[in-house]
């Protein structure tokens, strides 16, 4: 689904930004998350994998991502996607 991919891309970019600020490799982050391979981190950062909320919580703690920043991003993206979906549905019924 396109909108979910967009959400994951934005979250992934945030994770990558803070991972780089922490001077941490994908492999190091994967280890801290108890993943045996760093590809999962790569998939998250590139928006190809859904980031479970419990993992997002771990990432916030490990990378010192401001929780408000992550939540504001999620809410903003969800609001934009919800408005677009509702508008398209209304047009479909009206048309």
Confidence band of 90 (pLDDT split at 50, 70, 90): confident
Task: For residue 41, give Cα distances in angstroms to 23, 32, 73, 79.
Answer: 15, 11, 19, 26
The Cα 11–Cα 14 span in angstroms is 5
Q: What is the pTM of this model?
A: 0.80
Closest CA to 71 of 53, 85, 86: 53
The contacts found for 77-82 with CB under 8 angstroms, 24 or more apart, are: 77/6, 77/7, 77/10, 78/7, 81/3, 81/6, 81/7
Higher pLDDT, 54 or 92: 54
Dump pLDDT digits (tens) for 9-68.
889 999 999 999 999 999 999 999 999 999 999 999 999 988 999 999 999 999 999 999
**Can you give the pLDDT at residue 27?**
97
**Can you give the pLDDT at residue 9?**
85
Domain assignment of residue 37, given as a range: 2-94
Confidence band of 8 (pLDDT split at 50, 70, 90): confident
CATH code where residue 14 lies: 1.10.260.40
Structurally, the chain folds into a number of domains equal to: 1
Q: What angle do CA 17, 19, 23 make, to 5 degrees?
A: 115
The Cα 3–Cα 71 span in angstroms is 17
């Amino acid at each position: 689904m396109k909108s979910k991919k967009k959400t994951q891309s934005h979250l992934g970019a945030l994770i990558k930004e803070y991972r780089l600020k922490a001077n941490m490799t994908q492999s190091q982050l994967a280890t801290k998350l108890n993943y045996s391979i760093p590809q999962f981190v790569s998939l998250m950062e590139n928006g190809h994998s859904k980031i479970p909320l419990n993992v997002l919580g771990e990432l916030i703690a490990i990378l010192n991502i401001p929780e408000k920043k992550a939540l504001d991003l999620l809410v903003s993206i969800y609001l934009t996607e919800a408005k677009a979906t509702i508008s398209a549905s209304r047009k479909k019924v009206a048309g």
